């Protein structure tokens, strides 16, 4: 369980860190400033496109492209532990993940296409995704059911000759607001009466298909996170050919599980970077400001709060790295990562919790400025807060940890 | 220490509760929907004005107007404890405080005018404020210093013949974005070399005075809380006559202390109402939704979380009511409320903390919906979060409690 | 809901406080020093008897005897709120509750005899208990079942002609180690197949009855809390006459509920006093000791910890007083206190939690001394810790609060 | 940063784990049962000696002796990470550390003798300590000062010709109650007016020296932890030859720092084992008991509590292993371990906190049994609680973490 990055991993991390710090982060504010309002929200302004495409080209040139391919042929030759260290750096800028073609949900979707896609799909969707030419969305959560229990998912998918017809609503489809979003991967219920875990299937749906309607963007604490967004979408008699179904009828959860493991840990990795950024802001502010004749950090419990933040961020990072190491080991030994699920769930609960606390502490140290537009803290907070919900809420992951504990003891 | 409302207080509370529930809360969403963007943000739309003025007239008709005047002649004949129960109900709707002419910072400002204002000021500002015809702002916090230590305040105020000239910046001036905002009450430094607590003075400045520039609105987790807003303002050679100074040179903190006590407790009272609203949303959602074959509330620790929320909200309310009772007792016995300061500080720390936790729990129970625009939770959360900062951050109030403890023991 | 003591209550509180401070607390250490080891543990040494009886006589003389009789004829004419203030003072010394004849479980048992006992029982047991001549025990919890669900209780009680025969084991029988303990009140299962809440009955058993065997004392963090103790007892064919059953067959829980409400709140009241004592020790130590050139209280977060303790103790006290006030109101309006159960449960969870935290903080401020025999903190901690278990663990009380919440909303 | 044990480390761990489980833990209760009372407390009973010596011989035979020598010549050829895994297993039984000759404070003292001792000292003290023939104590903390600031230490040490004369009191001298304790290592003040960190020196004092008086044993939550104990000792004109001073005058803190680093981490390692034991007890009890028709673990938030415990124990272990890995790296690169101090401090705060919480949770799940003598939980709790105090209280370690953070950012 080596939690250190490999030499290759360290080089890549340093290169990513440098590019984030010197090239990407300085453009974050300018990029966001051009985001429109109303319907314009979902377009890239000319400067946004320019910033993004220039940086993407630069990342590709530097060999920092598609680093997420930890266990795929033709990948960068690093493992999940390496990627954890790299992704942490990407978490320190809003733009960075996409600049490196490492943003959710595209990484997860690319992995799905690579593993389960037909050659045609790989040609049509995977290739341009890998090239950063199109974007994709993943449609799972639904507004009318508690999606924490995925068996509740009920977007209807019925057979009609050589086609599947899809009807229903999805929301929180991240990235679906982006005009470059060309394809959806959709979890749908194919058999309303089937066994609990074999009634759902995964389908590939072009966004150009008739019957797809984007109802609105979902806000995260008032923020549309445009232009990519988290969209609320309605499917009305959306028709796709039979071979649009991945892996086969009733095998939706099988794909979802394989997809979500890495996705969850990627979120954790980036969240560590966010927590580090919040801590940096807290320390800098607390050091620069004076009250009652002393610097803020030396007042009351503030120094202890900084130490607690450092201690808990480090523990959270170790938890993430350990999950990554277990994923690597599981991959090498069994070909899949199921075995690592409890470790992933631990990190998935611990990291956002720690990041949320650190962010809240940083806000408090900033006074009113902390909740305002003058720091990234409020936006960071909103984003981190959603991590306790996406890809399974805390309660579901604690249940996974509990079950594994009982099973390890032979009590279940 | 009777924490129950008086009979008169109960009647008023029931009337306020009914009006909030039946008349005001149902219009909250419609009111906010008309809020503009960009510069339009700071105007009332026609429907907004209509809603507000209609409801205000109704409140006046029902005798539910200016209920905040707990210890002023001509007030509603209730004490602070009564008002605590009433204000809790107002906290359940965004619009409600203004509808009843009980919103911050106007209540505090009216109290200042009533206590310290010249007859001319009372005629020019207090009367229309009491009538709900104009609004006011309170300018204290500054962007360039840690305002938690109010002696840091440095907006310059120098004498020039019969006038004072003010120069500097203020921010978080709540309500200053409102086009009806006619007057500022400003804390300024009159003597840069004077004794720590006697170098600042309080002045009354008409918003029409030349040299006042509203730089921008401050966001609360991305929300401008328009049309009233929290404004960042620059004063450049703003000139007011000598008698615009309240109470006298160097007596700014004296007024600030008197002003802030009730203001803090009013925030707490309303925050209890917000916590109750968040709990209601949590319970209703948790009851309505099913996962893994059971209603959400019966899964894992959710029922315990509801019980904890109820327990802590009740404790927070008791803490607030006790502070209110101490304020009443102090007022009757000594004419001012200083003695109640530690009890107020306790409530000021405990209530927002509890409300924040309850709100976070409610968000978690809602899944993605909880952070979105589909419930009031995200906006509530942002607003509650600021309460740990406004009118003194937690750390300052804990220090007040600590000092009182040591003094009571004869150790300071 | 007046949470202030009445004038009579205040007088009694002041008298109790003075006697605790001046007469009882100074003898605590001497009393405990005489406690024996091994079998001698369960005897009163000569000095112990002398201290106790002298103080008891003094309490009687001062009119501070049996103050717990808040709603019984011939009582001291105070209500539960008054008694809360008084009991807090008793909590500041180990000996005090017994000195005032107000210790658990005797108060609860006396109440049971007064309400449900036959005239013979009242003559034989209640009179000498009221006089402080004998002691009693309450036998409920059993070693072999989870007693948090009282329907698990299985000490067998079967009819044999004019007698009941009891067989089984009980533990945590507080006070049963005391040589003066003359009577047990026992919860037993009379009908193994009856309805869940009507299968148990309450019986009165003289400790002299053949077949009663005290197996051992239970330790609380290594402390036998001798000479009263918490005993593990075996009943083997213990035979009592038919009229030893209180109220009637199957009505055991009815009595238990009535008995436990006041008992729980008495524990809370005394625990507030314990928390106050812990805070006093923390402040005195933190003030007296220096490190790194400053008094301990001014280092790091210590001053904030003191403030947090004050804030939470005050909130916990308010929660207790509110439960007491609800008990008084319920008693006056309905004759029983059932309606107050959720408020009691809130205090039962909150108070020991707060007291445990304050005690832990005080220990930390003392360094090694805090866990040692040189302060009362370790013993206080152990005692407080048990309060989260006795008379229902936290989880059971949170469930009560949750159910009340749902019922109030019409959702259960 | 490989946190996995080496192959050799794994073998040793498995062997230690097996011996703890099969041979040592089963004798724990019997060993403790023979502990005497009063003065007899500080003697080994015949069965105690037999158990201990038999097990020690067995450990030696199995090659599991003195495994703590991670960076000493002739050691077992493992590093600190390996030892962390091994020590965790030792933490699962009270007797185990001594059985393997790995108990505090002897390991630290042996390290001091090995590094700083004269050949004579090594012959006289180190050899028999390594052989497990004698025991030793470490006298640092004093009753009359806040020892968290070690510069407060004031046991007087003055020169008298060829001798040093020591006068003063120490307490919490772990192991000094043991009749086999032959030598003290003592921190004393040699220069009352010298620079803060160079006024203290470390001396070696035979327990047979005239003038040493053991005043009493200190209790840990009522437990003397006999027969080894934590003793309160008075030195009256204790005279040692000049060469009894280690390393030189004024270099006491230099030795203390070197000594405490490994000591702290060893405590953390064992505490992880204690937390695991507490979790095992919690799970087994919660699985075995039923209430309200379900097993305890499936009631309310209990399953989540188990998951939280697993998550936090794993994070705490990772924090410990990371500190161990940093110690190994620092040792190899710089020859000392100073660089690892912040990582050690993190573990020193996090591990006991987590262990305390897990232990408290386990107690709660056990009901009354949890605080009693029927499980190891109460004793575990007391022991773990002291870990937040010994070798520096939490506050001191948080300060270390804070300082390192600021230094790393160039702000101190």
pLDDT in tens, C84-113: 999 999 999 999 999 999 999 999 999 999
Q: Cα distance from C182 to chain D (closest Cα, Å)?
A: 24
pLDDT at res. C10: 97
Q: How confident is the model at residue A173 (pLDDT cuts 50, 70, 90)?
A: very high
What is the three-class DSSP state of A80?
A: helix
Residue D10 in this model has a pLDDT that exceeds 90: yes
pLDDT at res. D337: 83
Q: Cα distance from A196 to chain B (closest Cα, Å)?
A: 10
- With tokens 């001298």, the residue in question is D173
Name the fold adopted by C253-408.
Butyryl-CoA Dehydrogenase, subunit A; domain 3 (1.20.140)
Mean pLDDT across the stretch D253-259?
Answer: 85
Six-digit token pair at D9? 């480390």
Q: Which chains touch D (3 or more CB pairs under 8 A)?
A: A, B, C
- In 3D space, the residue among C103, C27, C120, C113 whose CA is nearest the CA of residue C66 turns out to be C103
Domain spans, chain B: 7-103, 136-250, 253-408
Tell which CATH architecture fits domain B136-250.
Answer: Beta Barrel (2.40)
Q: What is the mean pLDDT of chain A?
A: 95
Name the fold adopted by A135-250.
Butyryl-CoA Dehydrogenase, subunit A; domain 2 (2.40.110)
Cα C277 to Cα C26, C281, C310, C362, D123: the distances in Å are: 14, 6, 12, 10, 52
- D402:A2 CB<8 A: no
Q: How confident is the model at residue A406 (pLDDT cuts 50, 70, 90)?
A: very high
pLDDT at res. D75: 84
Residue D72 in this model has a pLDDT that exceeds 80: no
Q: How confident is the model at residue A389 (pLDDT cuts 50, 70, 90)?
A: very high
Q: Which chains touch B (3 or more CB pairs under 8 A)?
A: A, C, D
Residue A1 in this model has a pLDDT that exceeds 80: no
pLDDT at res. D338: 86
Q: How confident is the model at residue A182 (pLDDT cuts 50, 70, 90)?
A: very high
Q: Considering CB atoms only, which of B304, B319, B406 is closest to C318? A: B319
Residue C186 in this model has a pLDDT that exceeds 90: yes
* Residue C259, C-beta contacts closer than 8 angstroms, at least 6 positions apart: C108, C109, C111, C112, C138
pLDDT at res. A263: 83
pLDDT at res. A73: 76
pLDDT at res. C317: 98
Residue C371 in this model has a pLDDT that exceeds 80: yes
Give B 67-126 residues with CB within 8 A of chain A. none
Mean pLDDT across the stretch D212-237?
Answer: 96
Mutate to test the interface with C, among A293, A299, A304 (most CBs of C within 10 A): A304
In C, which residues are within 8 Å of B402 by CB distance?
A: 303-304, 306-307, 310
pLDDT at res. A140: 96
Mean pLDDT across the stretch D236-254?
Answer: 96
pLDDT at res. C337: 83
Q: Is D299 on the interface with B (CB under 8 A)?
A: no
Q: Which of D71-75, D261-265, D313-317 has the lowest mean pLDDT?
A: D71-75
Q: Considering CB atoms only, which of B367, B379, B395 is closest to A148? A: B367
Mutate to test the interface with D, among A278, A286, A311, A319 (most CBs of D within 10 A): A311
D355-364 pLDDT, tens per residue?
999 999 999 9
Residue C226 in this model has a pLDDT that exceeds 80: yes
In A, which residues are within 8 Å of B364 by CB distance?
A: 388-389, 393-395
Chain D CA closest to residue A344: D311
pLDDT at res. B262: 81
Q: How confident is the model at residue D74 (pLDDT cuts 50, 70, 90)?
A: confident
Q: Considering CB atoms only, which of D291, D374, D395 is closest to C148? A: D291
Cα D73 to Cα C306, D8, D76, D293: the distances in Å are: 49, 16, 9, 60
pLDDT at res. D383: 96
pLDDT at res. C362: 98
Q: Does domain D7-103 have CATH number 3.30.70.270?
A: no
pLDDT at res. B72: 76
pLDDT at res. C262: 82
Q: Is A277 on the interface with D (CB under 8 A)?
A: no
pLDDT at res. D262: 81
Q: Is C41 on the interface with D (CB under 8 A)?
A: no
Q: How confident is the model at residue B338 (pLDDT cuts 50, 70, 90)?
A: confident
pLDDT at res. C37: 87
Percent of all residues in chain C with a pLDDT value above 90, rounded to a whole number: 90
B277-311 pLDDT, tens per residue?
999 999 999 999 999 999 999 999 999 999 999 99
Q: Is D26 on the interface with B (CB under 8 A)?
A: no
Q: Is A304 on the interface with C (CB under 8 A)?
A: yes
- D304:B301 CB<8 A: yes
Q: How confident is the model at residue C412 (pLDDT cuts 50, 70, 90)?
A: confident
Q: Is C369 on the interface with B (CB under 8 A)?
A: no
Q: How confident is the model at residue B213 (pLDDT cuts 50, 70, 90)?
A: very high
Q: What is the mean pLDDT of chain C?
A: 95
Query: What is the bridge-based pairing of β-strands C135-139 and B156-160?
Result: unpaired
Give B 212-241 residues with CB within 8 A of chain A. 218-223, 230
pLDDT at res. C39: 85
CA A116 to chain centre: 20
pLDDT at res. B165: 98
d(CA C4, CA C2): 5
Q: What is the mean pLDDT of chain B?
A: 95
Give C 370-399 residues with CB within 8 A of chain D. 370-374, 378-379, 381-382, 385-386, 388-390, 393-395, 398-399
Residue A120 in this model has a pLDDT that exceeds 90: yes
CA C18 to chain centre: 22
Chain D CA closest to residue B308: D301
Mean pLDDT across the stretch B233-245?
Answer: 97
Q: How confident is the model at residue D133 (pLDDT cuts 50, 70, 90)?
A: very high
Residue A259 in this model has a pLDDT that exceeds 80: no
Residue B1 in this model has a pLDDT that exceeds 80: no
B111-144 pLDDT, tens per residue?
999 999 999 999 999 999 999 999 999 999 999 9
Six-digit token pair at C105? 């479980």
């Amino acid at each position: 369980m080596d939690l250190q990055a490999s030499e290759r991993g360290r080089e890549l991390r340093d290169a990513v860190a440098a590019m984030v710090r010197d090239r990407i982060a300085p453009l974050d504010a300018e990029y966001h400033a051009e985001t429109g309002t109303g319907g314009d929200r979902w377009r890239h302004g000319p400067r946004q496109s320019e910033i993004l495409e220039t940086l993407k080209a630069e990342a590709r040139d530097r060999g920092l492209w598609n680093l997420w391919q930890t266990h795929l042929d033709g990948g960068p030759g690093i493992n999940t532990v390496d990627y954890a260290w790299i992704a942490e750096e990407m978490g320190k800028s809003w733009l960075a993940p996409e600049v490196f073609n490492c943003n959710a949900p595209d990484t997860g979707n690319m992995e799905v296409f690579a593993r389960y896609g037909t050659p045609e799909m790989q040609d049509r969707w995977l290739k341009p995704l890998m090239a950063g030419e199109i974007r994709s969305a993943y449609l799972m959560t639904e507004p009318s059911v508690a999606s924490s229990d995925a068996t509740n998912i009920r977007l209807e998918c019925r057979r009609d000759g050589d086609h599947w017809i899809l009807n229903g609503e999805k929301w929180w489809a991240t990235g679906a607001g982006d005009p470059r979003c060309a394809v959806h991967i959709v979890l749908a219920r194919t058999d309303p009466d089937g066994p609990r875990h074999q009634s759902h299937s995964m389908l590939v749906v072009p966004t150009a298909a008739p019957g797809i309607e984007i109802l609105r963007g979902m806000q995260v604490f008032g923020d549309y996170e445009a232009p990519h967004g988290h969209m609320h979408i309605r499917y009305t008699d959306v028709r796709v050919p039979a071979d649009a179904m991945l892996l086969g009828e009733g095998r939706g959860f099988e794909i979802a599980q394989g997809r979500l493991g890495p996705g969850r840990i990627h979120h954790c990795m980036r969240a560590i970077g966010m927590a580090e950024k919040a801590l940096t802001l807290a320390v800098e502010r607390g050091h620069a400001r004076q009250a009652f004749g002393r610097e803020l950090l030396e007042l009351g419990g503030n120094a202890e709060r900084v130490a607690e933040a450092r201690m808990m961020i480090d523990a959270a990072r170790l938890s993430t790295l350990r999950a990554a190491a277990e994923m690597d080991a599981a991959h090498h030994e069994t070909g899949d990562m199921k075995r690592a699920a409890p470790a992933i769930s631990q990190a998935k609960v611990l990291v956002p919790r720690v990041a949320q606390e650190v962010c809240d502490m940083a806000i408090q140290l900033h006074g009113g400025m902390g909740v305002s537009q003058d720091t990234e803290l409020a936006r960071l907070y909103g984003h981190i807060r959603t991590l306790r919900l996406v890809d399974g809420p805390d309660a579901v992951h604690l249940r996974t940890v509990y079950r594994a504990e009982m099973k390890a003891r032979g009590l279940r």
